Amino acid sequence: MDTPLNVTTFVVVDLETTGGAPFGGSEITEFGAVKVCGGEVIDEFSTFVRPDGAIPEFITDLTGITDEMVADAPGIDSVFPDFMHWCGSHKETVLIAHNAPFDISFLKAAASKLEMPWPDFFILDTVRIARHTVDRDEVPNYKLGTLAEFFQTKVQPTHRALDDAQTTVEIFHRLIERLGTQVSTVKELQSFKRGK
C-alpha cells in the first residue's frame, strides 16, 4: 500500500460483542464504523446485530446493550454483507481499529460462519501506532479512554460501537499529525517504529 495517506480511504471500525472468543461462541452485537479520507468524514455505518444467544450480564453492564435492544435487529447474515459492501474494495480501503486483532478476528469469524471469503484488507492498529508515537511518560497505557483523554478528543469512548469508532478516528488523526513528515504512505505508517 504505497498510497499517500491524504488520498487513502480509511474505514475505522469498532464492534461490541457478547464476549472475547470470536471462534468460540461469542457474537457481534453492534457495528460502528466511520469512513474517512483526507481527514474528512465521508460516511458512517451503525447498527445493532441480533445474536443467536443471550447477552451476558457483565457485557450489558459494560456496554449498556440489552437483549431487548437487539431483539428486533438484523442478524449477522444480513449485517455482515451490508458492511462489506459499504467498506468498498479491499484494494482501495484500509481498515483501522483500536486493538485491531480483536475486531478483525470477529469480522473474520463472521465471514467464516457465513462461508464468505475474507477480503485481504490492509489493516492498521491505532494501539500499535500510538506505542511508537506517544511516549510512556506521556500516558500510562494505550487504552482508548487513556488516549482520548490525552488527546482531548471531542467524542469520548463509551463502549458503544459508533462512539468508540468516532473516538478512534480522532486519535488516528492526532497520531498522524504527531508523525508529521516521518510517514507519508499507508505502508510507511504500518511499518513505522520509534527511533527508526
What distances in angstroms separate CA 18 from CA 38, 58, 91, one per listed residue? 34, 9, 31
Tell me if residue 159 is catalytic: yes
Fold (CATH) for 5-191:
Nucleotidyltransferase; domain 5 (3.30.420)
- Based on DSSP, count helices (H) and strands (E) in the chain, helices before strands: 8, 5
Hey, where are the domains in the chain?
A: 5-191
* Region of residue 49 (left: phi > 0; alpha: psi -120 to 50; beta: else): beta
Angle between helices 161-179 and 144-151 (to 10 degrees): 60
Cell numbers for 160: 458503544
- Measured between alpha carbons, how far is 159 from 175 in angstroms, rounded to an integer? 21
- 43 — phi, psi (to 5°)? -165, 165
- Measured between alpha carbons, how far is 120 from 82 in angstroms, rounded to an integer? 17
Give, for all 196 residues of the chain, the pLDDT tens digit: 788 999 999 999 999 999 999 999 999 999 999 999 999 999 999 999 999 999 999 999 999 999 999 999 999 999 999 999 999 998 889 999 999 999 999 999 999 999 999 999 999 999 999 999 999 999 999 999 999 999 999 999 999 999 999 999 999 999 999 999 899 999 999 998 875 4
The pLDDT score that the predictor gives to residue 110 is 97
Q: Which helix (H) or strand (E) is 100 found in, with range?
A: helix 100-113
Taking a C-beta distance cutoff of 8 angstroms, is the pair 51, 57 a contact? Answer: no
- Measured between alpha carbons, how far is 166 from 155 in angstroms, rounded to an integer? 7
The pLDDT score that the predictor gives to residue 2 is 83
Q: Which of 90, 132, 159, 173 is catalytic?
A: 159
Using alpha carbons, select from 93, 68, 89, 79 the residue that is nearest to residue 161: 79
- Measured between alpha carbons, how far is 96 from 91 in angstroms, rounded to an integer? 14
| Model confidence pTM above 0.75 | yes
The pLDDT score that the predictor gives to residue 193 is 86
The pLDDT score that the predictor gives to residue 195 is 58
